[in-house]
A and B are shown apart, each in its own frame.
Chain A
């Protein structure tokens, strides 16, 4: 149970939060992104509210030797804002703005008997796989160039 517990508890809370705040509804998300139309502020409330416990959790983690059910904290230490990060965020933003799904809400809405989230999630995994191939081929090119 030990490896499963964090995932189960956290997944239930996370999915519950996405449903309660209607973030599982792509039309709601698009309403937030449509600043020139009939703007829907919901996502801003959700994000602001989510940041409070998230920041408290981070603050508490800094005072702990190790996580309660794990061996070490793995918090990204990289602080560099590099072109790759911004390009990735931009590509993600375009996809997000096209249909209103991002990974959390898309996966959270898989159980409602609709085909659309399944299509989106399958395409998302294919996109991740494409990135994997792209990354591997970049590494091979660099190696063969001897740098």
Chain B
């Protein structure tokens, strides 16, 4: 069982994420969507910001997580999934975010903030399907690794 997280940590973390999204827009004029930036770095997407900009973001992202983990909050990352499940989920997430033009950051944090109908619809859809998937896996199938 996971310890509950202090709502203050959650809110402070959320404010940092939102500030990052706002800064990316104000500095570079682009949407801070992580799936799109990752696709740009891997040269899978044609659109997106300049390659160096996307690459510096993708390198700084884990660095930011490491800095906070070394100073403010020690994480207890629990990945309970098996290798085949991780690979299946990764394939679905990669394909789905490209087909659906975004993920939790691009649609959820950036698109919803500007009340984009597409982003609101996409966020509602992936939230519902995420909830449905966890329900089926944990409560109907008894959970699998």
Does A128 count as interface, using CB distance less than 8 angstroms? yes
Instruction: Given A17-B13, A53-B15, decide whether A25 and B76 contact each other with a Cβ distance below 8 A.
Output: yes
Contacting residue for B65 out of A97, A111, A125, CB 8 A: A111
Which B26-63 residues have a C-beta within 8 angstroms of A?
26-32, 34-35, 38-39, 42, 44-45, 49-50, 52-63
Inter-subunit contact A94/B7 (CB<8 Å): no
Secondary structure at the A interface, as helix, strand, loop or mixed, is helix
Contacting residue for A16 out of B64, B94, B108, B133, CB 8 A: B64
Inter-subunit contact B25/A111 (CB<8 Å): no
CA A22 – CA B102 in complex, angstroms? 21
Interface size (B, Cβ < 8 Å)?
114
Contacting residue for B64 out of A6, A14, A58, CB 8 A: A14
Instruction: Given A76-B116, A97-B137, decide whether A12 and B104 contact each other with a Cβ distance below 8 A.
Output: no
Minimum distance in angstroms from B91 CB to a CB of chain A: 4
Minimum distance in angstroms from A11 CB to a CB of chain B: 3
Contacting residue for B25 out of A21, A23, A57, CB 8 A: A57
A79 contacts which chain B residues (CB < 8 A)? 116-118
Inter-subunit contact A97/B97 (CB<8 Å): no
CA A66 – CA B127 in complex, angstroms? 34
Inter-subunit contact A10/B90 (CB<8 Å): no
Inter-subunit contact A17/B129 (CB<8 Å): no
Shortest 3 CB-CB contacts between residues of A and residues of B: A57-B22, A88-B100, A127-B94
Which of B's residues lie within 8 Å of A, judged by CB? 1-2, 4-5, 7, 9-32, 34-35, 38-39, 42, 44-45, 49-50, 52-69, 72-73, 75-81, 83, 85-101, 103-105, 107-114, 116-118, 121-123, 125-135, 137-139
Cβ contacts A to B, 12 pairs, < 8 Å: A13-B64, A14-B16, A16-B68, A25-B75, A60-B26, A74-B29, A75-B31, A85-B100, A97-B130, A98-B137, A108-B61, A124-B38
